[in-house]
Structure 1
């Protein structure tokens, strides 16, 4: 009986720590400018002098910059589940940046979760890493 009580106490303690980490991950995600480091495992290839694409989650809104155009949309966050909807952008044309913006907006439509790893935000989809971002 004593071993059962110890095992139960250990289980509760570990479960509580897991919940706390998820809550910490969620709050560390919000209201920060996340600079895109890579999409589908590839570093960004941007023309010289181009501002690096970034994303920000504020309230229930996605804000961002794709390298030329402003990005916008909605997101839903529940634990480590994360999904984007209604993603759109302004429609300016900038030479050499369209492939990067297309990759970013396409990737956002496939995101279903996230991981925090050593200060990096990893957007995941179907168990695969879709993008890596770093807080600025």
Structure 2
């Protein structure tokens, strides 16, 4: 009888447990990540992207009007982007231009990341505020 109760308890507990795997940022190397929000504002229609390049520890992507580049470092869940620069193509759309500036400025404030259950990753500042959400 004790064995049956133990078995049922184990099944119930395993069913209730969180089955999401911990996502390592390194599994996303060389994959184009889509920016879906900046400061909780939806920008999924702007086709902004970010790619982590493993060999050079560099980032590249599209910020709205311009391509950007920079470097990154990862230590556990801590991540930092530095030396971020971009091409200087004129952007006539005010919304795109403002979101591009916000995106590039937000990258420099990122201090950690957190995976979500919806195949996305949140980039957080030092106060754990979500700055950028990426879809992989």
Please classify the TM superposition score into its range, dividing by the shorter chain length: 0.7 to 0.9
Paired residue for 1:17? none
SS in 2 for 1:36: strand
SS in 2 for 1:72: strand
2:8 is aligned with 1:34: no
How far, CA to CA, are the matches of 1:100 and 1:86 in structure 2? 19
Tell me the TM-score normalised to structure 1 length: 0.75
- In structure 2, relative to structure 1, the CA distance for the partners of 1:76 and 1:45 (3 Å cut) is closer
How far, CA to CA, are the matches of 1:80 and 1:45 in structure 2? 24
Paired residue for 1:71? 68
How far, CA to CA, are the matches of 1:82 and 1:27 in structure 2? 11
Paired residue for 1:132? 133
Residues 84 and 109, structure 1, Cα contact 8 Å, conserved in 2: yes
Give the alignment's Cα RMSD to 1 decimal: 1.6
Residue 45 of structure 1, CA deviation: 7.9
2:58 is aligned with 1:61: yes
SS in 2 for 1:37: strand
Structure 1 residue ranges (4+ consecutive) displaced by more than 3 angstroms after TM superposition: none
Paired residue for 1:106? 105
1:85-116 Cα offsets, whole Å, 9 max, x none, are 00010000121221011010000010000011
Q: Which stretch of the first structure deviates more once superposed, 24-33 or 85-94?
A: 24-33
Tell me the TM-score normalised to structure 2 length: 0.75
Question: What is the number of residues matched between the two proteins?
Answer: 110
Structure 2 unaligned regions, length at least 5: 1-20
How far, CA to CA, are the matches of 2:33 and 2:44 in structure 1? 17
Residues 45 and 100, structure 1, Cα contact 8 Å, conserved in 2: no
